[in-house]
Amino acid sequence: MKKILILNGPNLNLLGKREPTVYGNQSFEDYLETLKNTFSDTEIHYFQSNHEGALIDKIHEVGFTFDGIIINAGGLTHTSIALADALSAVTTPAVEVHISNIHARESFRHHSYLTSRCKGMICGLGLKGYELAVRYFND
């Protein structure tokens, strides 16, 4: 059974409440149940933090034993060299996911420090991006 970590960064704990026109009305916890039911043959772990160091610690914790990391680092995507370095330091491959299309938003969101450390990036497809990332790791 594959083990995958979904790692969400700052403010993603507010999904379902925060800017529903951008991020939708569903909480991530509700979506996670759907995802786990869809992929019952995959062990999906979930961690969210508003703190950069906690995200780095979680990458270090699973980065040599899990089959994949799905990371949506929120605003840290555009600022955190430390998160990029953490992804480089481990052997577990990662896929970057963004609910909104970061390239259609403010110019400061167009650059990601994580993309070059990831197998790929999925953006602009809403929560469906997480499902596509899980499918990638299960192929």
Q: Is 85 annotated as a binding residue?
A: yes
> Is 98 part of the annotated catalytic residue set?
yes
Q: Is 99 annotated as a binding residue?
A: yes
pLDDT for 15: 87
> Is 23 part of the annotated catalytic residue set?
yes
**For 2-138, CATH number?**
3.40.50.9100
Q: Distance (Å, rounded) from C-alpha 61 to C-alpha 65?
A: 8
Q: What is the mean pLDDT of each run of 10 residues along the chain (139 residues)?
A: 97 87 84 97 98 98 98 94 98 96 76 94 96 97
pLDDT for 74: 93
**Helix 28-38 with 128-138: angle, nearest 10 deg:** 30
User: How crowded is residue 91: how many other Cβ atoms within 10 Å of its Cβ?
Assistant: 8
Q: Is 103 annotated as a binding residue?
A: no
